[in-house]
Every structure is written in C-alpha cells, then in structure tokens.
Homo-oligomer: A and B are copies of this chain.
Amino acid sequence: MANFKGHALPGSFFLLFGLWWSVKYPLRYFNEKGNKKSHRNHSYQRLDVIEGAAKIIFAMIGMLAEQFVPDGPHLYLYSGEERSWVKLMNWQHTTMYLFYGLSGVVDVLTYSPLKLPLGMDRLMLSVAVFVEGFLFYYHVLHRPMLDKHIHSLLLIAVFGGAFGILLEVFLRDNIVLELFRASLAILQGTWFWQIGFVLFPPRGGPAWNEEDHDNIMFVTMCFFWHYAAALLIMIANYMLTYWYVNSRCDLCSPSVNSLKPFGSEMGA
C-alpha cells in the first residue's frame, strides 16, 4: 500500500521483532553463562516455535491487508478485456509477506517431529530477507530521486541483515550475530516509519521536494542516526537484562535456572 499505513504496518512488525530479540538473546546469553553449560535451554526451543507462529500470523495480517484494503486487488491478478495487471504494487508486497510466512512455517517444522535440519530456519529467514531486498531493488527503479534514495538506504539494512542471518546458518547461537540481526530489525522498523513520514506526511503537511539534493543528503545521514539510536536501544536493553538477571540472583529465589554461580563470577 503506497501510503502511510502501508509503511507503518511492516515497520511495526520489524520493530516488534527487533526489540524482542534485543531482550531475548542477552537473556539466553546470561542464563547460559550462569549455568556454565552451553546446551540451549529447552524453553528457548519453545520460544522459537512461538516466534515462528507469530511470523505466520503477522504475514497473514500483512497479506490480507495488502489484498483487501479498499483500493487493493482483492486477489484479482488481471482484469478487463485487455487483461491488464491489477495493483501489482500490492501483489509485490503480498509476495514479501509470503516469504516471511514461509520462514515461520520452517521455524515451526524445525521443532516438529519432522525435525528439519538445524540451520534451515535461519536459511529460510535469510531467503525471506533477500527476497524482500530484491523485490525492493526492482520496485523503486523508476521512482523520483528522493523516493528511490530513501528505499535504497533500506536495502543496506536489508542486505546486511540477510548476510548476517546467512552466517547464522553456520554459526548458530552466536550472540554477536544475533544482536546484529536484532539491531538491523529495529533499524528497518524505524526506517519504514520514517519513509512513511517523509513520503506520505500523515498530518498532510507540505510534501518534501523530491529532487532537492540537500534533502537527499539529510536523508542519508538520518538513516545512520536511526542506526545509532537502534544501537543505543540495544545497549540499554542489554544493560537492563543484565541488571534484571543479577538482581534476580541477589534475591536468590530458588529457580530452575539459578544464577548463583554466574552472579558470583561477575563479582569476582
């Protein structure tokens, strides 16, 4: 949907996943250190399945929204006597959501009795991000300069993320890669919102001059400010998780994942 909501919806999905990952992975990291065992917690497997289900649901919402908004294609691919294509933009967005949905299906199948080989889930997520990237790349080829530029900056986050996730196929449970993924998901999320604000000002203010070179320069810089903010959010979440895990240990409530050894190590 080439309007504000069409950018706010995927932006919110990415932001939600990015923020969630920026809490989940530090938590697992501290728990593993605390337990002095590197085996992944069974509960994290269940989380992965829930994440997969969430991906499927989000992808469904996205696909339905793209198809059935008032000016959507309502599942018609071509129409009329001369068989012209109907709302291909919406169809392309539907395709992007479809691949994230497939990634969710593979996530769920990985921990089903079928036991897809570990790594397929990461590969499938990487493929989904690559598909998003390629579709955007061909998507914006014939747009005004600012529109093109603001989307091509998104491609840095998209392809950077796709490569990072590809590495996770071979370096699974690498905390550095996982936090990198989280930071780029947050970046994508906030940048989708930014695109919406720039190209379709929701309060109907004056549109940006799409051919002004200074606007291009500002937007470039702004993209990296978003990333700086994403990194600061990540660091803040890491710290909060650290203090939460540590404080839980100070109370020393007898829990399955007792953090005593970890807390004492930290104090040493």
Q: Please list the residues of chain A having a beta carbon within 8 angstroms of any beta carbon in chain B.
A: 29, 84-85, 88-89, 91-92, 95, 98-99, 102, 105-106, 109, 113-117, 119-120, 123-124, 127, 131, 134-135, 138-139, 142, 156, 169-171, 175-176, 179-180, 213-218, 220-221, 224-225, 227-228, 231, 235, 238-239, 242, 266
- Is the CB–CB distance between A114 and B239 below 8 Å? yes
Whether B228 contacts A98 by the Cβ 8 Å rule is yes
User: A138-B216, A170-B171 are known contacts; what are 4 more A-B pairs with Cβ within 8 Å?
Assistant: A84-B214, A109-B235, A114-B239, A123-B180
Question: Residue of B at shortest CB range from A131?
Answer: B224
Asked, given contacts A114-B238, A116-B238, A213-B142, whether A227 binds B88 with beta carbons under 8 Å apart, the answer is no
Please tell me if the beta carbons of B135 and A88 are within 8 angstroms of each other in the complex: no
Contacting pair B88 A179 (CB below 8 A): no
When the two chains form the complex, which single residue of B85, B119, B220, B228 contacts A217, counting CB atoms closer than 8 Å? B85
| Cross-chain contact A214 with B88 (CB below 8 angstroms) | yes
Q: How far is the CA of A120 from the CA of B25 in the complex (A)?
A: 14
**Cβ-defined partner of A179 (8 Å) among B95, B113, B120, B218:** B120
Q: Assess A175 versus B117: contact at CB under 8 Å? Given A92-B221, A213-B142.
A: yes
Identify whether the interface residues of A are mostly helix, strand, loop, or mixed: helix
Please determine whether B29 and A231 come into contact, CB atoms closer than 8 angstroms.
Answer: no
- Cβ-defined contact, B85 with A225, below 8 A: no
Q: What residues of chain B lie closer than 8 Å to A266, measured between beta carbons? A: 113, 115
How far in angstroms is the closest Cβ of chain B from A138? 5
Whether the pair A228, B142 counts as a contact (CB closer than 8 A) is: no
A117-B221 in contact given A84-B214, A88-B214 (Cβ < 8 Å) = no
13 residue pairs from A and B, CB less than 8 Å apart: A85-B217, A85-B218, A88-B214, A91-B218, A92-B220, A95-B221, A95-B228, A105-B235, A115-B266, A120-B176, A123-B180, A131-B227, A142-B213
- Given A98-B228, A170-B171, does the pair A220, B116 have CB atoms closer than 8 Å? no
Q: How far is the CB of A265 from chain B (nearest CB, A)?
A: 10
Q: Is the CB of B228 within 8 A of A102?
A: yes
How far in angstroms is the closest Cβ of chain B from A217? 4
Supposing A91-B221, A95-B221, A135-B221 touch, asked if A85 and B214 sit within 8 A by C-beta, the answer is yes
